[in-house]
Structure 1
């Protein structure tokens, strides 16, 4: 056969393949836009036609603002991907997160669960309930009250650092140091270990490994080919690559050792005063024949749960805590009212161990409403909560959604609904003195009713003690010149952050009046 003829046929075959592919994609887009069961839901044509916009916004950052803008334009129901809608309607949000008709988490979490079997990524309701029961009272207020001395001890260390740095005339970056504080607290509460990060002023190697581990398993969940590439990369003689590839072995080895030590201390304690951790009771239950096997965790489960708490929970508390202190220092009247409240429980001592306990701080009404308003505007996690419509489909507002449709509750938008929160962009703690039912429903800072954040009591305890410690012991600090409204503008990439990624304070400048 003439070679030119074979080449021509090859070119024609390629063109035919391209043509068929284009026609298929075009037909698919037309179906999604005009014929899909979701075609009546408002939204731009490009979000209905393809997942690309949704993926790009989630990977590139800024998804909370982009979805908010769509709601401002199209209303409470917006189609943000071919099989995904976002609803800012309170009645619909309440239905989606109800405990009586649970919408499970989406396949996004299921992919992660193949890598790390932890509570936040469990999609099956029954499995979630068993795991939640296995935690028992680990994060209850009664248990946390036993761990409060460890939290206060670390807050005291932070206070001394603030005093030391600002007295020397230097600026103190709250965001950086709050991260170290949260990690030291979690080290004690999860493993019974002092990571010493506040003391050493640097991140513990385990924490660096834990953060790298989270990145690695996330990449592997969505790009399974990485597991095959690992063999190839293992031959690359580069120390950083080799260290990254072995991160999983290191974190599991260290975590297993630390948890075994915790278990050993509990079992061999003679006076009953062994240091309690979040996992002490869970580790005890592993060998207790009277505990239902369905609500027991294996050592592998405990190891993964502890790692994910250390890696994930520290950021959220540190970020929210940073915005909390920034808001207080930015508003003189708010600061004054909080100081007046604290005087009533410190008895004038000015020290955390001079009478302040979290139980007393819970009773302070103004502190409570200030924290709630910070949670409304500055909770660290404001990405849309994604769920899946159950079997048989559901009616959501004026639209019937087929089963397996993904529905999102946009936290950023719900927290700024002007019909629920008048003047939503203004920081007004007083709005929480007598909150309406709608205000309470709209708040998803700790997740929905069906899947609330297990660590919310711990986060609130840490935030309350942080405010009390700083306002009581650091009366002379103020926001540094570098800390402006522009530098603290919210940016979004999975979690929110200040645009400058820092929040600096300094010792208050004294005005010298010359006679």
Structure 2
């Protein structure tokens, strides 16, 4: 009888232990158990939020939970305090690792703050507002792209009286703008003029993004299933990402030839197509040159060798610039899409904007006969209150990145939203979707009202979070405003 009872106890022990570990402790004893749950199952399972993320429904679902249960909620991660969570001591979680390209890390995929800060310093000057507003180089690029490509395409369609889907044109413009700033006009893409190449790029990009959920949220399960031939991520989606990498690496390699000729470097032995003709000012690969020079100098100091590009440096440069493109073109297209939509819904606001733009000393006029390529100065555009208000309100109501930006609680735990002892390693985050809908700050938050920004106080600015905050906020924030 005693032996029989011992066998029963041994058999039940793993079950009892599992019930304690996965149900009783997280639901009733964990420090996180004091935080209201976004869903009744959130304390014991992430399935609810995983489903919402898989269906791209997580920002409104999390926001609804905030409205019902308060500023801090538990969904198997904790939502709270922007100033705390996005401080330097909260490192990124592994959620960012699948955003690597070419097998190396960019600023986005770097988890620790130190390497990120070093890389950010390499580029921050050329993406700062002060530089962008006073750069003749960028003004030249902008004028060329707007007049010879964007407006030319619009006037062509207008004269033919053919219907035009403006979204692909805007998307092509944002890609061309990004790559032209990185590689110069001649070295950048020409997707406004080459619809076939643009469509290929967009198709590969959508393939890449369609598999991000599995790589970010369930990386170990995804890898385990693939070992047994069970692919939740279709092989063609991975192939699409590799095709994107190839397209961008060709841009980098072609630009390397120009850079090496300008700096009297030994030409690369890689077989690439050289750019035609001499290098004009607008063709200088400004961002590429800055990043390459900085990376080579940093490695030279570490090794004591003469700066010379290695294969790893080649991939690091491609990875970083590729990430800047990916982070910039889709988000800008989303914002401009909503901006145009809301202007169409509010003709009175549209008329105010037109009047303001025409009042400039150098208004942007479309002329099919004069051949004028004049363009308002960036500082003039930056000073237009209605234009700024329209952009800010569009970013508030329709942030291109509305969801979670995860961080990890550091050693020693944290206090968030009045809840003490949040354990080390807990995934925590905030989301722009909810911050931008604080009804105490933004009255009637679901309405598009640009006029609210004409006399905005510091509190509205504090709650505006379209580009994140802290040392790892979006380095391209000012460039994004410039494009819009």
Give the TM-score normalised by the residue count of structure 2: 0.79
- What value does the CA root-mean-square deviation take over the aligned residues? 3.6
Distance in 2 between residues matched to 1:20 and 1:276, nearest whole Å: 62
- Aligned counterparts of 1:188 and 1:226: Cα–Cα separation in 2: 41
What corresponds to 2:273 in structure 1?
A: none
- Where 2:196 maps in the other structure, the secondary structure is coil
Out of 335, 356, 376, the residue aligned to residue 396 of structure 2 is 376
Deviates more, 1:65-74 or 1:450-459: 450-459
Distance 1:70 1:462 in 2: 35
Report the equivalent of 1:102.
Answer: 89
Q: Contact between 1:388 and 1:405, CA under 8 Å: does it hold in 2?
A: yes
Distance 1:179 1:392 in 2: 45
Task: Give the superposition deviation at 1:94.
Answer: 2.4
2:30 aligned with 1:31: no
Distance in 1 (alpha carbons) for counterparts of 2:469 and 2:82:
9
Q: CA deviation at 1:207?
A: 6.2
Task: Report if the CA contact (8 A) 1:285-1:291 is conserved.
Answer: no
Q: Does 1:85 align with 2:78?
A: yes
Contact kept in structure 2, 1:210 and 1:251, CA below 8 Å:
no
Moved more, 61-70 or 171-180: 171-180
* Other structure's SS at 2:42 match: helix
The offset of 1:242, in angstroms, is 10
Structure 2 residue 142 is matched with structure 1 residue 151: yes
CA contact (8 A) 1:388 1:404 kept: yes
Q: Are 1:409 and 2:440 matched, yes or no?
A: no
Report the Cα offset of residue 69 of structure 1. Answer: 0.9
- CA–CA distance in structure 2, aligned partners of residues 32 and 49 of structure 1: 6
The Cα offsets for residues 287-307 of structure 1, whole Å up to 9 and x where unpaired, read as 44898559x992221111122
Shift of 1:184: 1.5
Inter-partner Cα distance in structure 2 for 1:161 and 1:429: 29
1: CA distance between counterparts of 2:339 and 2:94? 34
**1:258 paired residue among 241, 248, 254:** 254
- Identify which range, 184-193 or 413-422, moves more after superposition: 184-193
Match of 1:354 in 2: 374
Map 1:99-498 → 2, pairs under 5 A? 102-110=89-97, 112-113=99-100, 115-141=103-129, 143-144=131-132, 145=135, 146-156=137-147, 157-192=149-184, 193-204=187-198, 205=200, 209=204, 212=207, 222=219, 223-224=222-223, 244=240, 247=243, 250-251=246-247, 253-267=249-263, 273=281, 275-288=284-297, 293=302, 298-347=313-362, 350-351=365-366, 353-400=373-420, 401-463=422-484
* Residue in 2 that maps onto 1:470: none
Q: Which moved more, 1:103-112 or 1:301-310?
A: 103-112
How far off its partner does 1:316 sit? 0.3
CA distance in 2, matches of 1:187, 1:260: 14
| Corresponding position of 2:269 | none
Kept in 2, the 8 Å contact 1:266–1:280? The answer is no
Question: 2: CA distance between counterparts of 1:415 and 1:391?
Answer: 30
Q: Following TM superposition, by how much is the alpha carbon of 1:270 offset from its aligned partner in structure 2, in angstroms?
A: 9.0
Task: Name the stretch that deviates more: 212-221 or 41-50.
Answer: 212-221
**Cα shift at 1:206:** 5.8
What CA deviation, in whole Å up to 9, does each residue of 1:82-118 have, x standing for no partner?
A: xx1123xxxx2223234xx532212212454594401
Task: Give the conservation status (yes or no) of the 8 Å contact 1:181–1:197.
Answer: yes
For the 8 Å contact 1:106–1:386, the answer to whether it is kept is yes
- Segments of 5+ residues of structure 1 without an aligned counterpart are 1-11, 234-238, 464-515
Alpha-carbon spacing, 1:456–1:291, altered in 2? closer, same or farther (3 Å): farther
Matches within 5 A, 1:44-59: 44-59=39-54
Equivalent pair of 2:125/2:131 in contact (CA under 8 Å) = yes
CA–CA distance in structure 1, aligned partners of residues 438 and 454 of structure 2: 18
Which whole-Å deviations, capped at 9, do the CAs of 1:359-399 have from their partners, x for residues lacking one? 21011112111111111111211002222222211222321
Q: 2:57 aligns with which of 50, 54, 62?
A: 62
The answer to whether 1:72 aligns with 2:67 is yes
Residue 112 of structure 1 contacts residue 218 of structure 1 at CA under 8 Å; is this kept in 2?
Answer: no
Task: Specify which structure has the higher proportion of strand.
Answer: 1
SS of the equivalent of 1:448 reads coil
The alignment of Structure 1 onto Structure 2 pairs a total of residues equal to 435
Most deviating of 268-277 and 258-267: 268-277
Q: Secondary structure of 2:75's partner?
A: strand
Question: In structure 2, what is the Cα distance between the partners aligned to 1:457 and 1:40?
Answer: 40
- 1:119 alignment partner, SS class: coil
Between 114-123 and 266-275, the greater mean CA deviation after superposition: 266-275
